[in-house]
Amino acid sequence: MVIQIQAKYLKHFDSENAFGIDLGSQKSVICAGLNSYLSNAVISKENKNFLSCALNLDHCRSTQTRILLDGTERSVGAQVEGRKDALYGFKSLLGCFRRNNALIGDNKNQFEHSSYTAKYGREGKSNFSSEQIAAMYLRKILYGIKFPGDIPPEFANAPQESDMSIQFDKPPSIVLSVPTFWKQSQREALLTAAKVAEIDVLSLVHDTTAAAVCFACTRLPPNAGLRTPYQLIIADFGSQGLQISIFRIAKTLHGLTITALAHSWSCNVGGDNIDHIVAAYLTQKLSLQYKQQSHRFVPDQNQNQDNNNNNTKQLNDEVQKSQIRLIKAAERVKRTLSGVPAINESFELLPDFDVQLQMTREELEKLINGIDLEIKNTVESALMQALDKNSIELVGAQSRMPFLQRSLEIAINDQLSKLSIQQSPESAHPKLILSHQLNTDESVSWGCAKLAQLQAKTVSANQTRIYNSTIPLPADRARADAELNAILSMTAKDQV
């Protein structure tokens, strides 16, 4: 995959209603050019190309990836917080199917989409597919943004919020990021969701590729990439897994060329996996600490109970709710221990039952020590295809965990040293240190917005729809990543 960003597009150009969206499993971020927000203000050419993270109606830079359907209203953001009936997890279910009691030997194996049930619409209760929920969410957050999160300091006479609004005279054009480990069915499901939301998708781009575009445009050292290409490692620790990609960045008088050399991933190192490991540990620990109440929050795997019994139903519901709260507590523990060495606080496990939660960072790191091997294997798979590296950039919601940072840095340097000795026993590869120059939460959406600006100038919406609808399904899964990237990433090819 090759992305070309020409010099004239690095400075300024006019492209309205082009947005970049990082649709995350936990939260989503939107980014766009300044002129998309300030429709009633006169913007100089120097500021037209300024990209800003979008603030939602709650003045937050990100929005939780969950939506509440109530009557005829759709709600996101602060209105959803604390609501148990809010719908979430639909990104993970896009393009996924579950077997519906298919019989062995039956040629017509029955599959059905994962669905959500909500009290919504005239009938009061309906079933929705994950694509429909994703469509409603995308449209709600995109049409709900009003303000830029950042305004350039040299922008004089900045307008008031009442003067800031996005006018959609035509369907907005967006670039969406997707994980490198997504299958073709998941990508097509996301395009279907965008179509339902009446949004023109210019292209899909990998999370790591969007982050690389952000680095190349905002953080690349002044003289880097001129004589020799700049080799960049992007590591994205997200909720669903770890993604590692290698990029080559070359700079010329005509602009930047960003080439993807390798992609590797593991879905066993995601934040959700860590949350479940910690939750299981907390369950075991609390069951010993609160033995008399343990039956209320510890699932009984061996007991064969009558599910029609009201007491049994009530107990099962109580256990299920407590397990959900333990998952949330595990997430809080993980987040807290990323900044402090120990946590000691109480939380409500059940409405009438509070527990004391104690854990140290050392306990957490010992608990998840097994993912070390997954990180090493993922690193080895990516680095085999490219040796000389200049820097490692870390992004993603889980990238703040010290253990993951340390494990990744050790794994990369060990592999680079091994490969360097194999090529030239007398020379060793210089040690690389993790860099945190990119915004871990917003760099992906920024890169998507930059590509949206480029592609909105060079590709019509009709061409994009036809192009995306003809994406082939690669027969060889090992080559699927490179093939899909080459097709899904459209760049400006006109001469300067």
Residues 48-66 have pLDDT tens digits of 678 889 888 888 999 999 9
Amino acid at 475: A
pLDDT recorded at residue 475: 37
Mean pLDDT of 164-184: 81
Q: Which neighbouring-strand residues pair with 493?
A: none
CA angle 445, 448, 449 (to 5 degrees): 85
Residue 53 in 3-state DSSP? strand
SS3 399: coil
d(CA 86, CA 64): 11
Burial grade of 42 (CB within 10 A; 0-12, 13-18, 19 or more): exposed
How confident is the model at residue 14, as a pLDDT? 45
Mean pLDDT of the residues in the chain: 77
3-state secondary structure of 372: helix
CA distances (Å), 174 to each of 30, 67, 199, 338, 447, in order? 10, 20, 7, 34, 12
Q: How far from 290 is each of 139, 277, 284, CA to CA, in Å?
A: 46, 20, 10
Which residue did the predictor score with more confidence, 444 or 18?
Answer: 444
Q: Which residues contact 160 (CB under 8 A, 6 or more apart)?
A: none
What residues does 165 pair with on adjacent strands?
38
Q: Is 33 helix (H, G, I), strand (E, B) or coil?
A: strand
Taking the C-alpha atoms of residue 327 and residue 54, their distance in angstroms, rounded to an integer, is 30
- Dist. CA 454–CA 18, nearest whole Å: 9
Lowest mean pLDDT across 165-179, 210-224, 281-295, 482-496: 482-496
Minimal CA–CA distance to 209: which of 177, 251, 241?
Answer: 177
pLDDT at residue 109 greater than cutoff 50: no
Structure tokens at 49: 């190309």
| 42/486 Cα distance (integer angstroms) | 38
Structural domains of the chain ordered from first start: 2-97+113-219+438-488 (3.30.420.40), 271-367 (3.90.640.10)
| 273, pLDDT greater than 60 | yes
Q: Which amino acid is present at 322?
A: S
Query: What is the rounded CA–CA span in Å between residue 210 and residue 6?
Result: 16
Model confidence at 141: pLDDT above 80 = yes
Decide: pTM greater than 0.75.
yes
Q: What is the DSSP string of 224-271?
A: TTSSSPEEEEEEEE-SS-EEEEEEEEEEETTEEEEEEEEEEEETTSSH
Distance from C-alpha of 280 to C-alpha of 326, rounded to nearest angstrom: 8
Q: pLDDT higher for 291 or 270?
A: 270
Per-residue pLDDT, averaged over 204-232, amounts to: 88
